[in-house]
């Protein structure tokens, strides 16, 4: 049974407090010999693929974001545009506690970007659309959101100083050393560039998310998946062996819900 929106948002606030993430992605790129930086304020929630339906419910209920499968075991809800990020945060903000500062920082980043750029692109093809002060402020925001509130330690990504150094390079149009090599995609065979440092130990390389997903789907479906019968509709479907439950398995969330809703039990002794 669906709970009403207010109860749902109250629950979602706690869920996002624990599992969600608000961030400003800062991407440094070199395009046709010119350096550029882009800022993408986003919100996301990652869950095991078995709980993908929870993420899909967020998309359905709030009408924002998209859910995609990152690997065969992780699914991600993520906002896909600045407008969506803003809308999502404005809905969820009153229900947050722990992530309130991060959400507010992302809102502030959105305000800054709305004022001075097109589509969050600070320097598009080398053309400056954000002044260096605003860009520096955005980098600072990106860094602070990702710092531990207790230790100040950087939680992921490049450090604040590293990002500021690269930002300086962008604005001074220094060449960013690439150290890239050309390799071929395991799935489609296309040639693409990758940082030399990132290939250590890896055996598969993919040029796009689609190729990663297609390869994983093909590999896991043949190597690790087994046939399972839905406890409600008796349909045979495939499931990763480690995800098969000892009790009842269901082909869809709808089947699971209907199976559990339409049961009456008694004890006999």
Partner 1 sequence: MAATVLIYEWNGASGVQASTDKTSGTLRYKNADNATVDANNPLVKPTSGNNRSYEKWTRLHIGGTGPTGSITAPKFYTDGSNSYGTGISAYILTTNPGSYATPAVPANDASGTDQFSYTSASPKALDVANAGPFSGTNTDFGDYAVLWMTLATTVSAPQNPTSSETLTFAYDES
Rounded to whole angstroms, what are the CA distances from 127 to 1, 38, 133? 53, 12, 16
Instruction: Give CA torsion, residues 230, 236, 237, 239, to 10 deg.
Output: 70
What is the CA 24 to chain-centroid distance, rounded?
A: 12
Does the protein bind partner 1 through residue 133 (CB under 8 A)?
A: no
Give me the DSSP letters along 149-202: TTT--B-SSS-HHHHHHHHHHHHHTPPPP--EEEEE-TTT--EEEEEGGGGTT-
Nearer to partner 1, 165 or 260 (CB): 260
Does the protein bind partner 1 through residue 28 (CB under 8 A)?
A: no
What is the CA 161 to chain-centroid distance, rounded?
A: 24
Give the binding range for partner 1 (CB under 8 A) out of 48-56, 95-103, 113-121, 258-266.
258-266
Quote the least distance from Cβ 7 to partner 1, whole Å: 18
Give the binding range for partner 1 (CB under 8 A) out of 64-72, 161-169, 198-206, 255-263.
255-263
Tell me which residues in 175-234 interact with partner 1 (CB under 8 A): 229, 231
Quote the least distance from Cβ 232 to partner 1, whole Å: 8
Quote the least distance from Cβ 138 to partner 1, whole Å: 50
Quote the least distance from Cβ 235 to partner 1, whole Å: 12
Nearer to partner 1, 132 or 230 (CB): 230
Does the protein bind partner 1 through residue 236 (CB under 8 A)?
A: no
Residue 122, helix vs strand vs coil = coil
Does the protein bind partner 1 through residue 248 (CB under 8 A)?
A: yes
Residue 247, helix vs strand vs coil = coil
Q: How many residues does the chain have?
A: 269
Does the protein bind partner 1 through residue 246 (CB under 8 A)?
A: no
* Phi, psi of 118, deg, nearest 5: -105, 125
* Cα atoms in the 13 Å half-sphere on the side-chain side of 127: 6
194: number of Cβ within 10 Å: 16
Quote the least distance from Cβ 251 to partner 1, whole Å: 13
Does the protein bind partner 1 through residue 261 (CB under 8 A)?
A: yes
Give the binding range for partner 1 (CB under 8 A) out of 30-38, 96-104, 113-121, 259-267.
259-267
Does the protein bind partner 1 through residue 2 (CB under 8 A)?
A: no
Give the binding range for partner 1 (CB under 8 A) out of 19-27, 121-129, 132-140, 256-264.
256-264
What is the CA 208 to chain-centroid distance, rounded?
A: 15
Residues making contact with partner 1 (CB under 8 A)? 1, 229, 231, 248, 258-259, 261-269
């Amino acid at each position: 049974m669906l709970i009403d929106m207010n109860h749902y948002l109250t629950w979602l606030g706690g869920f996002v407090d624990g599992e969600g993430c608000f961030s400003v992605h800062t991407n440094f790129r070199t395009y046709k010999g010119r350096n550029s930086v882009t800022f993408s304020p986003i919100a996301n929630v990652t869950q095991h693929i078995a709980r993908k339906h929870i993420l899909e419910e967020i998309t359905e209920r709030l009408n924002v974001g998209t859910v995609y499968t990152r690997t065969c075991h992780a699914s991600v809800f993520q906002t896909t545009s600045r407008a969506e990020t803003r809308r999502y945060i404005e809905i969820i903000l009153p229900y947050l506690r722990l992530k309130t500062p991060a959400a507010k920082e992302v809102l502030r980043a959105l305000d800054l970007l709305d004022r001075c750029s097109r589509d969050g692109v600070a320097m598009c093809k080398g053309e400056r659309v954000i002044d260096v002060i605003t860009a520096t402020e955005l980098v600072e925001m990106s860094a602070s959101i990702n710092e531990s509130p207790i230790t100040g330690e950087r939680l992921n990504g490049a450090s604040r100083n590293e990002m500021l150094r690269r930002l300086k390079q962008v604005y001074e149009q220094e060449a960013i050393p690439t150290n890239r090599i050309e390799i071929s995609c395991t799935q489609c065979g296309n040639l693409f560039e990758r940082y030399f440092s990132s290939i250590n130990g890896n055996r598969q390389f993919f040029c796009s998310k689609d190729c990663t997903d297609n390869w994983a789907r093909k590999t896991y479906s043949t190597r690790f998946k087994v046939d399972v019968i839905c406890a409600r509709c008796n349909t045979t479907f495939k499931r990763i062996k480690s995800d098969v439950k000892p009790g009842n398995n269901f082909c869809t969330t709808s089947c699971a819900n209907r199976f559990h809703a339409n049961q009456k039990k008694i004890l006999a002794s």
